[in-house]
Amino acid sequence: MSSTPVIGVLALQGDVREHLVALAAADAIARPVRRAEELAEVDALVIPGGESTTMSKLALQFDVMGPLRERVAAGMPVYGTCAGMIMLADKILDGREDQETVGGIDMTVRRNAFGRQNESFESGIDFKGLDGGPVHGVFIRAPWVEAVGTAVEVLAELPAADGPESRIVAVRQGNLLATSFHPELTGDHRVHEYFVRMVEAV
Ligand SMILES: NC(=O)CC[C@H](N)C(=O)O
């Protein structure tokens, strides 16, 4: 891609504004996307954090779920944070019975996985492919990735608090990127820059 990429933020629900700011800081042209017509005009999309059950319902109501799946199948780069990660998962655990996802990443994601006593926490995260030291991970009722298919690259893991098992918190499959945590809340734009580079490489 030769010109500055235009990246939409799915603006049905969630922390849309923070992603618009982070994308602009990462040198993309950022705009909110609610409708299929708006989706057709962007090169790539961020699905923000929020509440995946509500986001799923609104995506169906706004007739944007089908177009989202089509763009993902056609190779549009998408970055999902937290609820956005859930939206990109082919399979979810602890979802609502009628909850649909866009899908695209061959992974199983467990909603609200980090548990009650730990509903929100912060941690330094080593993120594969990012220079400049660990990313500051802000986790808010965050999901983790419980299983991944062979096409999925694990970019970051968090050591489990209660044992030797670590938890996957960032993944990439082709043009799809997902994190359990919220880089848009930290003022550190390296993950958004990483995504902008993915978009530019298409
Ligand atoms: N910060 C978030 O996006 C939380 C995600 C939320 N727990 C969900 O299931 O959608």
What is the per-residue pLDDT across 4-54, written as a single tens digit (0 to 9) for each?
999 999 999 999 999 999 999 999 999 999 999 999 999 999 999 999 999
What is the per-residue pLDDT across 84-121, written as a single tens digit (0 to 9) for each?
999 999 999 999 999 999 999 999 999 999 876 667 88
Residue with the two structure tokens 């979810």: 92
pTM of the model as a whole? 0.95
- CA-based max dimension of the chain: 48
CA distance 110 to 105: 14
12, 14, 44: which is closest to 185 by C-alpha?
14
CA distance 179 to 87: 11
Structure tokens at 84: 């956005």
Q: Which residue among 16, 100, 140 is best mutated to probe the pocket of ligand 1, counting the most ligand atoms within 8 A of its Cβ? A: 140
Residue 110 in contact with ligand 1 by CB distance below 6 A: no
CA distance 170 to 184: 14
CA distance 193 to 185: 14
ipTM: 0.95
- In this structure, which long-range contacts are made by residues 35-39, counting pairs with CB atoms below 8 Å and at least 24 apart in sequence? 35/62, 35/63, 35/64, 36/63, 36/64, 36/67, 38/8, 39/8, 39/64, 39/67, 39/68, 39/71
Q: Which residue among 92, 141, 144, 180 is best mutated to probe the pocket of ligand 1, counting the most ligand atoms within 8 A of its Cβ? A: 141
